[in-house]
Structure 1
């Protein structure tokens, strides 16, 4: 179920039928005797149907969708009334103090690096993240970064059995984060309408390289290419007085977009806890690049120097590849624990199913 609602006129009608209200009123505007009876009945119906002390809900249906250009979200409605209208297939998950996302099921269908960075944040806040990869894909150099705090499984969704299992996983998920090109999930039987049918209250957050419209919408892309094609590398070349493009010294677009993806999920979680409805958010690396380029440089800004990694706060953890230093998160929230219950693991280390709760 998307963030759309339509109510019967009898419950929230603001006036009696036009042909009667225009001809049955006294010159001073007071209702006639039959009109007073109509208004009394209408007021009684309104009081019985309206959410207690909730904000006004217009008759016309409305929906909420989050796109890469910004948010277009209506005000949340009274939670108890909205939950009573939510479908039975909607999740009954509720946030918990201390570990706000504990028990939230996040289906991770991303590759590198923005999507995994986002779901890592969610795992740190307590979410149960299940990452699914095809049987023949690997990226050994960054697997530890992609899998920290998550369950990792392999599934061949091109086969009927794997596709059916993927549909079952989605039907039990609270959140879907995916980074495939537009139309890829459609070929697996998971077009947007089908995802909404399978899980009506799903928080559906998607990422692409070059956006969702225009001639480059279906192009493959990654951080370094986006820096080149959006002018970031050219700006670096000019700043360094170099004779060739100079990209940023880190995958800044991946990580910046990852935080935006996580923020989109958190906003969807907040709104669904209030009204029981799902959310769709679309983001892109190119849109994040445009946003970063729109920040005016400060003439007084000090030049950033490389930090000595040995001076950064970190915890030593064990991994299948040996000991590693895990840096502390870049933020803290009073009363909230940010920690990973599982270390990094090779892809396909877990079964393709949700753990028992």
Structure 2
């Protein structure tokens, strides 16, 4: 495929994204790459649209910073096929295996009156679910107990215990749900202007437009790390901070690319002091804690802005920033169950169990849009001298996808071949691997990652 504006779904979603960024009319983008991921939703178009939005935001930042003469509309190319592959997996190990993505207990279970999904990848989330069910961590035992519960009642009990679960709802039921109604009223990106401060781009170059930019990363699987991975590819210095005990082995080879990874306990005085020192010297903060989590540590938006005037502060949550579920723990697969995506897939396929999207598209798209929001914030700061905050959510990205035109009939994309990968292998912390080429190209800009992916806590909490 080579088409100036891609498919109708691509054009519709990219236009909606651009309007959410206050960018006006969407300029043409060159779209290449044949084939689409199989789904009743335009998943490949969502991948291409979010990546295109980030590419356009990058081009606009370069134009604002360096006055590059060529029009933004002539210099952004998106490979729709590669964008979809990045939404699945960008890394292919050479002689070793990736860790499993899911805990054995995680998954969909038939309840007494429908379906429910338990998300148990984190040990404390697994412990919470098992405590409610009163069973051993064995899938068959869990299934037997779940079958005796009403899905809504079990969802409520697991969430109240500190776990993560989602009953399967239809899109119609979600539209009537208080949280569904709240999300429908939220913007795709909620913006707020911040304080005056330095732009952080003194060391930037036209080919590496984020060189010298300090990005503080307080995110977990999966959307937030996708955002900061994109920024690292543009030259930013990304410092990821995790609590002492946190681990997410199934995704780290994907998400730590280009980053320095350290541990810091924000609940301890020494860790808090160190974090405040780092934030004072950061240009961008990206975080994915639940709503008000940082505020409970005395680090609300006002405190963050005082520590670093002019900060670009971009955050996400799962279920939206308003409504009764604004503080609920959530993940992509759970949001798909809640908002009707999994039920619609099941109905269309005539299946006897939930049918989710073929990839964690809500995570990847939201993360890529977060990267675009950072880039827009930087461009705004160049123009006005003021920072900004931007809030996004998985549930609102799901609404963007659900409202798009249906996908056009297409064959599945051809499997990645050697030409789809970077020429040199990447020496990851687990072994050598091939990494897909970037899915977007901006004329004159080199997208590359200066650090291979590696384990958490491998470095000191310092720039």
TM-score under structure 1 normalisation? 0.73
Consecutive unaligned residues in structure 1, runs of 5 or more: 1-66, 75-85
- Picking from 169, 183, 191, the partner of 2:300 is 191
Q: 2: distance between equivalents of 1:190 and 1:291?
A: 31
Q: 2: distance between equivalents of 1:305 and 1:69?
A: 29
Q: CA deviation at 1:71?
A: 6.0
Against the structure 1 CA distance between its residues 72 and 141, is the aligned structure 2 distance closer, same or farther, given a 3 Å change threshold? closer
Task: Give the conservation status (yes or no) of the 8 Å contact 1:68–1:281.
Answer: no
* Corresponding residue of 2:374: 265
* Corresponding residue of 2:243: 134
- Picking from 180, 184, 189, the partner of 2:289 is 180
- Indicate whether 1:314 and 2:426 are aligned: no
- Indicate whether 1:206 and 2:305 are aligned: no
Q: CA deviation at 1:90?
A: 3.2
Q: 2: distance between equivalents of 1:69 and 1:343?
A: 32
Q: 1: distance between equivalents of 2:419 and 2:399?
A: 30
- Picking from 393, 401, 412, the partner of 1:305 is 412
* Corresponding residue of 1:103: 212
Q: 2: distance between equivalents of 1:263 and 1:287?
A: 16
In our comparison, the structure showing a higher alpha carbon Rg is 1
Deviations 1:27-62 (A, max 9, x none): xxxxxxxxxxxxxxxxxxxxxxxxxxxxxxxxxxxx
Give the stretch that moved more between structures: 335-344 or 186-195.
Answer: 186-195
Cα-Cα RMSD: 1.8
Q: 1: distance between equivalents of 2:443 and 2:199?
A: 27
Against the structure 1 CA distance between its residues 174 and 68, is the aligned structure 2 distance closer, same or farther, given a 3 Å change threshold? farther
Against the structure 1 CA distance between its residues 270 and 138, is the aligned structure 2 distance closer, same or farther, given a 3 Å change threshold? same
Task: Give the conservation status (yes or no) of the 8 Å contact 2:243–2:264.
Answer: yes
- Indicate whether 1:93 and 2:212 are aligned: no
Task: Give the conservation status (yes or no) of the 8 Å contact 2:188–2:397.
Answer: no
TM-score under structure 2 normalisation? 0.57
Q: CA deviation at 1:317?
A: 1.4
Q: 1: distance between equivalents of 2:248 and 2:187?
A: 28
Give the stretch that moved more between structures: 155-164 or 315-324.
Answer: 315-324
Moved over 4 A (4+): 70-74
Against the structure 1 CA distance between its residues 70 and 254, is the aligned structure 2 distance closer, same or farther, given a 3 Å change threshold? closer
Q: 1: distance between equivalents of 2:332 and 2:300?
A: 26
Against the structure 1 CA distance between its residues 73 and 340, is the aligned structure 2 distance closer, same or farther, given a 3 Å change threshold? same
- Indicate whether 1:218 and 2:337 are aligned: no
Q: 2: distance between equivalents of 1:72 and 1:207?
A: 12
Give the stretch that moved more between structures: 200-209 or 94-103.
Answer: 94-103
Consecutive unaligned residues in structure 2, runs of 5 or more: 1-185
Deviations 1:40-96 (A, max 9, x none): xxxxxxxxxxxxxxxxxxxxxxxxxxx74346689xxxxxxxxxxx85x63443442
Q: CA deviation at 1:302?
A: 2.0
Q: CA deviation at 1:307?
A: 3.5
Task: Give the conservation status (yes or no) of the 8 Å contact 1:90–1:199.
Answer: no
